[in-house]
């Protein structure tokens, strides 16, 4: 009678939100305004207010946000941008696509960028640091900010997994010159398809990105500089306006689930995620580490428990990265973690019983 515990549960989400979604669809189709307009600006105001930033710019995806953040601050061919190999591929892809060179540095035991490795990788060509707040837990932004100040570097935060996360009480996306965020259906704040946005206190940068997202238009018939089409659909904006109202509840439920895992997983072979008092972690993912990762994953699958691996191949070992000059052994911590990490289900629709089922299965596997 094993009940399946899904890694994500879209049917449950839809059951809770059906009326709201139908009202959004009706609103957009009734208005006939599918692209641009007041709903986009309303969402941008809501996002900026939530993040505590002066500006937010709605975009087509988190990847667009990274790309336009880098373009917007003037990263050019020949520039070097320092980031990590253990992210979603877009963190590096965006750097490559503005013509810059990604410099990949190793991560700490806590899965986030190692500030010492950043400092060691700085050259005269370095223009920016792109820290990734992996799992919804922020990097050590005070240390990174200090490094950036001392070397005259920009910081572009990849907050795609971390909208609403805080470090020393201050929000993701407000530490760097700009923060890039995703509202992909799997993220904590999710749209009904691709969507993303960026946050910044720099009004000029925001204005430039608003031009770049729509072909460089300043008005219907005037093109200021050549841009791209990276606009967010109004339907996504209208849904995000509604879902933003419940985001704090989503964070609290995920944080509660994390706490339950912490209490219930007893196996000593399992390393739980690092959590420090100065952090407000929004638990986009809950990543454990163990030497018996593959066997544990198969065991959980047999028990009907869905898990994932974020991410099985570090970016510097992807075929696409062969020209970047890294080989196996170059970034040993990230490489070792790639063999040991396992992401447990932590979404907001899981009950305490569900978490207990997962924890019991893990404990049983290790005989704990």
Ligand X SMILES: *Cc1c(COP(=O)(O)O)cnc(C)c1O
**Which residues of the chain form contacts with ligand X (CB under 6 A)?**
61-63, 87-88, 90-91, 132, 158, 160-161, 182, 184, 194, 196
Query: Which H or E element spans position 295?
Result: helix 293-302
Tokens 């540095």 identify what position?
105
Looking at the Cβ atoms of 39 and 310, the one nearer to ligand X is: 310
Minimum CB distance to ligand X, residue 365 (Å): 28
Minimum CB distance to ligand X, residue 278 (Å): 21
Minimum CB distance to ligand X, residue 181 (Å): 8
Residue nearest to ligand X (CB): 62
Q: Sign of dihedral through CA atoms 84, 244, 60, 349? A: positive
Looking at the Cβ atoms of 106 and 354, the one nearer to ligand X is: 106
Looking at the Cβ atoms of 63 and 112, the one nearer to ligand X is: 63
Minimum CB distance to ligand X, residue 51 (Å): 17
Minimum CB distance to ligand X, residue 16 (Å): 23
Q: Give me the half-sphere count of Cα atoms (radius 13 Å) on the Cβ side of residue 347.
A: 21
Looking at the Cβ atoms of 95 and 122, the one nearer to ligand X is: 95
Nearest to 117 by CA among 88, 152, 70, 84: 84
Looking at the Cβ atoms of 93 and 356, the one nearer to ligand X is: 93
Looking at the Cβ atoms of 48 and 59, the one nearer to ligand X is: 59
Minimum CB distance to ligand X, residue 135 (Å): 9
C-alpha pair distances (Å), 360 with each of 254, 301, 325: 19, 14, 44
**Alpha carbons 130 and 91: distance in angstroms, whole number:** 8
Q: Is the preceding peptide bond at 311 cis, omega within 30 degrees of 0?
A: yes
C-alpha pair distances (Å), 133 with each of 144, 164, 275, 281, 342: 12, 11, 13, 10, 17
């Amino acid at each position: 009678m094993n009940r399946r515990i899904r890694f994500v549960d879209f049917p449950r989400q839809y059951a809770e939100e059906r009326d709201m979604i139908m009202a959004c669809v009706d609103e957009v189709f009734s208005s006939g305004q599918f692209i641009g307009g007041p709903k986009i600006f309303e969402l941008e105001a809501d996002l900026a207010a939530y993040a505590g930033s002066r500006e937010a710019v709605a975009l087509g995806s988190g990847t667009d946000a990274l790309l336009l953040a880098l373009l917007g601050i003037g990263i050019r061919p020949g520039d070097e941008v320092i980031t990590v190999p253990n992210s979603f591929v877009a963190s590096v892809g965006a750097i490559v696509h503005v013509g810059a060179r990604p410099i990949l540095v190793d991560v700490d035991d806590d899965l986030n960028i190692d500030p010492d490795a950043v400092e060691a990788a700085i050259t005269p060509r370095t223009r920016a640091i792109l820290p990734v707040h992996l799992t919804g837990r922020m990097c050590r932004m005070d240390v990174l900010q200090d490094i950036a100040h001392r070397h005259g570097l920009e910081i572009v935060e990849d907050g795609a997994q971390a909208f609403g996360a805080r470090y020393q009480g201050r929000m993701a996306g407000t530490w760097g010159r700009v923060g890039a965020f995703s509202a992909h259906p799997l993220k904590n704040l999710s749209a009904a398809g691709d969507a993303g946005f960026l946050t910044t206190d720099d009004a000029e940068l925001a204005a430039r990105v608003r031009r770049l997202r729509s072909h460089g238009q300043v008005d219907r018939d005037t093109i200021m500089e050549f841009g791209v089409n990276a606009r967010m659909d109004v339907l996504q904006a209208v849904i995000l306006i509604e879902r933003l109202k419940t985001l704090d509840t989503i964070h609290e439920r995920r944080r509660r689930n994390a706490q339950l895992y912490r209490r219930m997983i007893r196996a000593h072979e399992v390393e739980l995620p690092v959590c420090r008092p100065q952090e407000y972690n929004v638990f986009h993912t809950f990543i454990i580490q163990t030497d018996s990762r593959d066997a544990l994953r198969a065991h959980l699958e047999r028990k009907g428990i869905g898990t994932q691996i974020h991410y099985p191949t570090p970016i510097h070992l992807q075929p696409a990265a062969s020209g970047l000059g890294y080989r196996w052994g170059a970034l040993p911590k990230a490489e070792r973690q790639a063999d040991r990490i396992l992401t447990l289900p932590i979404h907001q629709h899981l009950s305490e019983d569900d978490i207990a089922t997962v924890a019991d299965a893990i404990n049983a596997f290790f005989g704990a």
